[in-house]
Amino acid sequence: MKPMAVLVPVLVLAAAAVAGCASAAPPASPASPTSPASPTSPAARPAIPPEFRAACGHPGAQVEVRTVPVTISHAACDLTGVAISYRNRGGATVPHDGGGTGIGNSDGFELTVHPGSLDVTITVTGPHGNA
């Protein structure tokens, strides 16, 4: 056999081996379009206003609400034991006991813990100093 006839198949095999070793792993299979969103995906969680994010799950933290009314889902953000206030209207601490609790003051600040869901709603009523 001629040397050139042996060299060509050897080069082809060597090139194929190098190409096979250098190829990337196959991509992971994408999630099925009918599968529900994962619990950690942003679309699956209610939006938490930025001022509340650091207080989630941290009793003793303090939050000054920027916009009212606002409801924070307990499933997305546990505010138990967190002190919440609104400028010039005072505030309250989210109680440790169950839902169905409402706390208000004479400046019109109101904090409600909803029964069942334990969601927290903050509202402000009436003019300042005359709720």
| pLDDT reading at 34 higher than 80 | no
The pLDDT-based confidence of 1 (bands split at 50, 70, 90) is low
In a domain, 41, yes or no: no
Res 99: pLDDT: 83
- 45: pLDDT confidence band, cut at 50, 70 and 90? low
* DSSP letters spanning 33-99: TTSPPPTTSGGGS----HHHHTTTT-TT-EEEESSSSEEE-TTT---TT-EEEETTTEEEEPPSS-S
Number of domains in the chain: 1
Q: Is residue 95 part of a domain?
A: yes
Which range of residues forms the domain containing residue 120? 48-124
Task: Give 3's pLDDT tier (boundaries 50, 70, 90).
Answer: low
Residue 12 lies in a domain: no
| pLDDT tens column, 60-95 | 999 999 999 999 999 999 999 999 999 999 999 999
Task: Find out whether 55 and 82 touch, Cβ atoms under 8 Å.
Answer: yes
SS (H, E, C) 103-126: EECCCCEEEEECCCCCCEEEEECC
Residue range 103-119, pLDDT digits in tens: 999 999 999 999 999 99
